[in-house]
Amino acid sequence: MAPSNATPHNPHVVVVGAGILGASIAFHLTLRGAQVTMVEAGEPGQGASRVSFAWLNSYDKNPFPYHDLNRRSIEMWERFRRRLGADIDLVWGGELRWSITPEGAEALAARAKVLQNWGYPARLMDAADVRALEPDLAIGEMTAASYTDIDGHVNTGDVIRACIAAAEARGAELRTQAPVTGIQLSQVGTAPAKVEGISIGEQMIPCDAAVLAGGPDMPALAALAGVELSLYHTFGATILTEPIAPLFKHIAVFHPAHDRPPTVNFRQFSDGVVMIGATAPDNQHDGDRARTDSDVAEIMEEAAAIVPALQGVRVQDVRQGRRPIPRDGESIIGFSDTVPNLYLATTHSGVTLAPIIGEFAAMEIVDGATIDLLQPFRLARFRSN
Ligand SMILES: Cc1cc2nc3c(=O)[nH]c(=O)nc-3n(C[C@H](O)[C@H](O)[C@H](O)COP(=O)(O)OP(=O)(O)OC[C@H]3O[C@@H](n4cnc5c(N)ncnc54)[C@H](O)[C@@H]3O)c2cc1C
């Protein structure tokens, strides 16, 4: 029997949005023989993906199916890199975090237990273990620590550029400065309306299927096809320093004193640049407003108090943007049930999830597969609640 979303063998697919999800999906579509047109409102990789802390992890992901999706995707990153054949500054080494309150220690131990029961190799540590792992860190007060050695981080800009270059090498076309303004639907008889083409102003690009990967702008994009998305966004910021000497011996991501706001997170690119993510200093407005210059100064002060090597280090860039978050915190992936050749892909943790969403979306679109692991993440779940 033909799959319900069957498209021609080499379908022409328009992918809207060239962030990490759109770029990964476009790349994987070309691997499966699709003809791809990528359409981007601005320039590739300037949305949430640019701001992202890009920690590849499944630490706080619940329930199990969502944790498992993230974990599987972490395991796919090496293969993704090999297929791209490019340097994407993929850094492994795990995540180290510690608490400074008794409640924080309890929470850390409880989470480590859940993760271990799910087969995720989190490990509780004491100060001596941390000192052995990272002898140069100023530990100070600590009630407990945990280390998850399969976590890593990546340079999202490099990934997006590599995906686009590899897709273009397989014949894909990229249209930039091309905001999508309409989705043309056609209806035959009583069958559900299907996407006929994607409009950029007066121009329409005909297609067999369309993918919407518009990050925080997904609700507006999906509304062009009459699809309602349960998605909100929060503001986030990351600060990049000038390059400095290596901060860590082993770890890739560092979350010290994660139970005392503002929490400050660290990772370091291979060129020495340190990326710092932080909650807003007053912790009252985290997520509902952009960071000010004085917020950034306070965050840098806090960061240098924990990592003395950052004292006096120059800030090179402050990235601000919106994180897309589906209403229940999990991903929205799959064909719309009202417009059957319209594929939706949006999520928080889209960096961790880029390899699995790219590969799975391409199979569902080109091969008509219905992937079991994606069933919990269909948009229709919001309607049945
Ligand atoms: C501060 C912060 C920290 C984060 N930390 C992590 C982390 O540690 N680990 C992790 O895995 N994830 C993290 N995330 C989440 C992750 O970055 C996002 O889930 C991911 O980047 C989303 O990618 P995307 O491609 O869906 O969206 P985006 O990168 O926003 O790309 C969407 C693209 O669609 C384009 N677009 C929108 N509307 C239109 C239109 N009408 N026409 C054409 N193009 C359009 C936009 O211009 C944009 O380029 C973080 C996010 C933030 C903001």
Indicate the domain borders of the chain: 12-53+156-230+327-384, 92-151+235-322
Q: How confident is the model at residue 285 (pLDDT cuts 50, 70, 90)?
A: low
Q: Is the CB of 7 under 6 A from ligand 1?
A: no
Q: What share of the chain in percent tops pLDDT 90?
A: 83
Query: 92-151+235-322: same fold as 12-53+156-230+327-384?
Result: no
What separation in Å is there between the alpha carbon of 55 and the centre of ligand 1?
14
- Side-chain-side CA neighbours of residue 195 (13 Å): 35
pLDDT at 286 over 70: no
The span from the CA of 61 to the CA of 382, in Å, is: 19
* Long-range own/partner contacts, residues 121-125 (CB < 8 A, 24 or more apart): 121/148, 121/149, 121/150, 122/59, 122/146, 122/147, 122/148, 123/147, 123/148, 123/149, 125/96
- Side-chain-side CA neighbours of residue 246 (13 Å): 10
Residue 132 pLDDT: 95
Top mutation candidate among 37, 53, 80 for ligand 1, by most atoms within 8 Å of CB: 53
What residues contact 14, with CB distance under 8 A and at least 6 apart?
A: 36, 37, 38, 39, 197, 198, 205, 207, 209, 210, 211
- In DSSP notation, 303-322 reads HHHHSGGGTTPPEEEEEEEE
What separation in Å is there between the alpha carbon of 189 and the centre of ligand 1?
37
The encoded tokens of residue 217 equal: 């702008």
Using an 8 Å Cβ cutoff, are 194 and 339 in contact?
yes
Q: Which residue type does 232 have?
A: Y
* Number of the ligand 1 atom closest to the C-alpha atom of 348: 19
Q: How confident is the model at residue 3 (pLDDT cuts 50, 70, 90)?
A: very low
Residue 9 pLDDT: 73
- H or E segment and range at residue 49: helix 48-51
Q: What is the mean pLDDT of residues 177-183?
A: 98
Q: Is the CB of 326 under 6 A from ligand 1?
A: no
Q: Which residue has the higher pLDDT, 306 or 29?
A: 29
Residue 86 backbone phi and psi in degrees, to 5: -140, 160
What residues contact 237, with CB distance under 8 A and at least 6 apart?
A: 51, 277, 278, 290, 291, 295, 296, 318, 319, 320, 321
pLDDT at 79 over 60: yes
For domain 12-53+156-230+327-384, the CATH superfamily is: FAD/NAD(P)-binding domain (3.50.50.60)
Residue 109 CB neighbours (<10 A): 14
pLDDT at 7 over 70: no
Q: What is the mean pLDDT of residues 84-89?
A: 98
* 232-to-48, 70, 138, 236, 328 alpha-carbon distances in Å: 13, 20, 38, 13, 10
For domain 92-151+235-322, the CATH superfamily is: D-Amino Acid Oxidase, subunit A, domain 2 (3.30.9.10)
Q: How confident is the model at residue 262 (pLDDT cuts 50, 70, 90)?
A: confident
pLDDT at 282 over 80: no
Q: Is the CB of 18 under 6 A from ligand 1?
A: yes
Q: What share of the chain in percent tops pLDDT 70?
A: 95
The encoded tokens of residue 35 equal: 């003809």
Q: How confident is the model at residue 137 (pLDDT cuts 50, 70, 90)?
A: confident
Placement of tokens 């960096």 in the chain? 351
Residue 2 pLDDT: 38
Q: Which residue has the higher pLDDT, 320 or 291?
A: 320
Mean pLDDT (the chain, rounded)? 93
The encoded tokens of residue 117 equal: 């029961």
Strand, coil or helix: what is 204?
strand
pLDDT at 18 over 60: yes
Using an 8 Å Cβ cutoff, are 199 and 183 in contact?
yes
